[in-house]
Amino acid sequence: MHSPSRRLLVGIDASRAVSTHPTGTETYARRLIEALLARPPHRFRLYFRSAPPAGSFSAAEWRVIPFPRLWTHVRLSWEMERHPPDVLFVPAHVLPPVRPALSLVTVHDLGYLHFPQAHPFRQRLYLDLSTRWSARAATRVIADSQATRADLIAQYGVPAEKIVVAYPGYDEGLTRVDDPALIVATRARYAIPERYVLYLGTLQPRKNLSRLIDAFADVPRDVTLVLAGRRGWLSDDTLAQAQRLGLEQRVLFPGYVSEGDKAALLSGALAFAFPSLYEGFGLPVLEAQACGCPVVCANTSSLPEVAGSGALLLDPHDTRAWSQALAQLTGDAVLRTEWAARGHANLPRFSWSRCADTVLETIETLAASS
């Protein structure tokens, strides 16, 4: 790591790190902040909209600054004006208009440009304008993948030398469950039969679940498809499709799966299917690999980078290829063991510790050259 010439005060927008039902962005903020706080010698000041749980982020100074609307643009800007840190890091897309001379922002993906129909119009417009502006205004941009870096250069004209790729980590406490009774009990809680293929994530058009349902029509009838996750924008179409194809008994929608149940469901699945058309990173692939679940995923955007040689990569538009791969995997235990081992071998490339090292090195290099 670059040796800093002085101890810095690093400000971090931690407003997303304390969500009660975290999605990918909130998990990223929390885990990366925790990893950064474990790295001396710098001081860290975290900015929250509301107080985090007692005992969390204890290695940092807190600023709890409530504000009803436009928190980033108005309240965080006001804080930057009055008490600026040496560097400000925003782990999710949007910088405040007023900020110190040195700032970093993480851009997770530009999926709203590739699949505009997956977002309500006002949300898409906001994401486009705020991300475009933040990527240009920041001193450095952290990208989750080479795919996102390439997007930032092509779509927004961000100079290549301004973008640093720092792969996120995954929950290293998430491991294979070998207790059959625990797997059976977890399956029972969600009414899932013994032989199933699992998808975990938000139900929305970008995830390409309609094609997965089409492909599943040709998979042997003793296997169930479980599409687990919160219902997102336009998810009703996905539910209706299973009924149209007469698959309502074989395609299950158990809803949101708690973090505590994730490992058992992944460990009990015959395969994990992730046909997403676009991902800035694709954390569910790593979670499945960590639980020893063979992965079949799309060969688009960042997914080949993340999955490495530890997943069966398919064209997300090729329904027949998905049918064949799932039929083969679900019917061949030796093949499943082989792909599970390949997936596990892929994991050491990713850790929150390494991600934090890259972010901190970027901060120190900026400070040293300013």
| CATH number for position 232 | 3.40.50.2000
Q: Is residue 42 part of a domain?
A: yes
Residue 244 and residue 184 share a domain: yes
Domain enclosing residue 265, as ranges? 180-349
Beta strand extents in 131-172 (DSSP E only): 140-143, 163-165
Same domain, 138 and 97: yes
**Could you tell me if 233 and 263 lie in one domain?**
yes
Q: Are residues 60 and 112 in the same domain?
A: yes
Residue 130 lies in a domain: yes
Confidence of residue 89 (pLDDT cuts 50, 70, 90): very high
Closest alpha carbon to 353 in 3, 27, 36, 26: 36
* 343 in any annotated domain: yes
Whether residues 163 and 196 fall in one domain: no
Sheet containing strand 251-255, edge to edge, reads: 251-255, 224-228, 196-200, 271-274, 295-298, 312-314
In a domain, 117, yes or no: yes
* Bridge partner residues of 165 (DSSP): 143
> Within this chain, do residues 41 and 161 fall inside the same structural domain, yes or no?
yes
Q: Decide if pLDDT at 248 tops 70.
A: yes
Statement to judge: residues 256 and 207 lie in one domain: yes
pTM of the model: 0.90
Shared domain check, 200 and 164:
no
148 and 160 Cβ atoms separated by less than 8 Å: no
CA angle 43, 44, 50 (to 5 degrees): 150
Same domain, 360 and 332: no
Is there a domain that residue 23 lies in?
Answer: yes
Report the share of the chain in percent with pLDDT over 90.
Answer: 80
CA–CA separation, 66 and 62 (whole Å): 12
In the chain, what's the furthest Cα-to-Cα distance?
A: 66
Q: What is the pLDDT of residues 249-302, one digit of tens each?
A: 899 999 989 889 999 999 999 999 999 999 999 999 999 999 999 999 999 999
- 3: pLDDT strictly greater than 60: no
Average pLDDT of 12-28? 86
Q: For the chain, how many structural domains are there in total?
A: 2
Could you give the CA distance from residue 301 to residue 17 in angstroms, rounded to a whole number? 26
In a shared domain, residues 109 and 220:
no
Which residues are within 8 A (CB) of 320 and not within 5 positions of it... i.e. 6 or more apart? 215
Structure tokens at 267: 């460990």
Which of the four pLDDT bands, split at 50, 70 and 90, describes residue 234?
low
Does residue 1 sit within a domain? no
Say whether both 223 and 192 belong to one domain: yes
Tell whether 206 is covered by a domain. yes
pLDDT for 235: 73
* Burial label, 69 (beta-carbon count in 10 A; 0-12, 13-18, 19+): exposed
Helix (H, G, I), strand (E, B) or coil at 114: helix
Q: What is the pLDDT of residues 318-332, one digit of tens each?
A: 999 999 999 999 999
Q: Is residue 232 part of a domain?
A: yes
Q: Which residues contact 289 (CB under 8 A, 6 or more apart)?
A: 295, 307, 310, 311, 340, 343, 344, 346, 347
- For position 323, what pLDDT does the model report? 97
**CA nearest neighbour of 322 among 209, 206, 202, 194:** 209
The answer to whether 163 and 191 are in contact (CB under 8 A) is no
The alpha carbon of residue 352 and the mean position of all alpha carbons in its chain are separated, in whole angstroms, by: 13
Residue recorded with tokens 């002085």: 6
Q: Read off the pLDDT of each residue in 22-33 and give the average, rounded to a whole number.
A: 88
**Domain co-membership, 188 together with 330:** yes
Give me the mean pLDDT over the 16-24 stretch.
Answer: 80
